[in-house]
Amino acid sequence: MSRIVYVNAEFVPEAEARVSVFDRGFLMADGVYEVTSVLGGKLIDFAGHVARLERSLKELDMAMPMSAEALLAVHRELVARNEVIDGSVYLQITRGSSGDRDFVFPDPGVTPQTVVMFTQSKLGMAETPLARTGIRVISIDDIRWHRRDIKTVQLLYPSMGKMMAKAAGCDDAWLVEDGMVTEGTSNNAYIVRGNTIITRQLGNDILHGITRAAVLRFAREAQMTVEERPFTIAEAQAADEAFITSASMFVMPVVEIDGAKVGTGKPGALTARLREIYLDESRKAAI
Ligand code: PMP
């Protein structure tokens, strides 16, 4: 089905959408993005995604192109026009095109940002059978830049990481720096020991996941203990359970790390409970 996408204040069929070849997002990965999930036609954690967008833009000296209310209206219009029931809305803002290639940032007063949004439909994504089997991950070196807290469109290494995982017959990769897991290629990483959830603390080393924030809040409310600290692959392999979180995977069990089974090799009970709580609460709060 041909989608209606949003490009610089216009809703157009995807085949008619145009961005300049000089766009800095294309030439320099000079842009940020957000992905907001849609369940039952409603947006999940929208306020969190907008807050992180504002932060990413600020860190790169870019302005918010429109108010949070206007962004919400565009998200909703795209969901409605494309009849999305379950899926996501992708949003990307770049520093625009000055009409040439130049390392120097263009004057924002002269060069408008490029704002692109589109939907992806994935009916029934919250009921994916993967959640019942769990995923298998490999570990790879984390060679990304050191501002991973900014959600930029520089996704080459995460893409390569997913290809390395695929080549190894696995689903995804966890990134390791100085012997410690930072996060997954496109998700935050967790291990569980007893009633305790362990995940790396926030900082410049990882993306501040919106799903992470919600899941940790629900975990504490459910009397689980949360420890925010780094862990090794060996500790993860010896843990009772492991999982990842992201806007599109929600809470997804990890059952194998570098060929070693985690716990029983089946999704853990705490992980399953957290996934259920997260989905229930998110659906209730969806807008
Ligand atoms: N870490 C990285 C590197 C990511 O790309 C993502 C997803 N974009 C996440 C974590 C999870 O963030 P969120 O829960 O906001 O989707």
Residue 28 maps to which CATH number?
Answer: 3.30.470.10
Residue among 45, 82, 85 at smallest CA distance from 218: 45
Query: Which of 75, 95, 124 is the C-terminal boundary of a domain?
Result: 124
Whether 116 and 135 share a structural domain: no
- Beta-bridge mates of residue 152: 32
* Containing structural domain, residue 157: 130-285
Whether 271 and 151 share a structural domain: yes
Q: Alpha-carbon distance 57 to 64, whole Å?
A: 7
Whether 147 and 239 share a structural domain: yes
Whether 103 and 245 share a structural domain: no
Catalytic residue IDs: 151
Query: Which of 98, 124, 150 is the C-terminal boundary of a domain?
Result: 124
Whether 137 and 254 share a structural domain: yes
Whether 47 and 183 share a structural domain: no
How would you classify residue 182: left for phi > 0, otherwise alpha for psi between -120 and 50, otherwise beta?
alpha
| Residues 201 and 257 sit within 8 Å (Cβ to Cβ) | no
Side chain identity, residue 75: H
Query: Ligand 1 pocket test: which of 243, 246, 254 has the largest number of ligand atoms within 8 Å of its C-beta?
Result: 246
Q: Does the model's pTM come out above 0.85?
A: yes
Q: What is the CATH classification number for the domain harbouring 202? A: 3.20.10.10
Rounded to the nearest angstrom, the distance between the alpha carbon of 154 and the centre of ligand 1 is 13
Whether 13 and 34 share a structural domain: yes
pLDDT in tens, the chain (287 residues): 699 999 999 999 999 999 999 999 999 999 999 999 999 999 999 999 999 999 999 999 999 999 999 999 999 999 999 999 999 999 999 999 999 999 999 999 999 999 999 999 999 999 999 999 999 999 999 999 999 999 999 999 999 999 999 999 999 999 999 999 999 999 999 999 999 999 999 999 999 999 999 999 999 999 999 999 999 999 999 999 999 999 999 999 999 999 999 999 999 999 999 999 999 999 999 99
Distances (CA, A) of 286 to 13, 37, 115, 119, 253: 27, 10, 24, 17, 23
Domain count for the chain, please give it: 2
Whether 120 and 139 share a structural domain: no
Whether 86 and 179 share a structural domain: no
Q: Alpha-carbon distance 135 to 261, whole Å?
A: 11
Return the axis-axis angle of helices 46-59 and 210-221, rounded to nearest 10°: 130
Query: Which of 124, 147, 177 is the C-terminal boundary of a domain?
Result: 124
Ligand 1 pocket by C-beta < 6 Å: which residues? 35, 183, 186-188, 207, 209-212, 245-247
Whether 165 and 97 share a structural domain: no
Q: Alpha-carbon distance 117 to 12, whole Å?
A: 11
Rounded to the nearest angstrom, the distance between the alpha carbon of 149 and the centre of ligand 1 is 10
Whether 197 and 110 share a structural domain: no
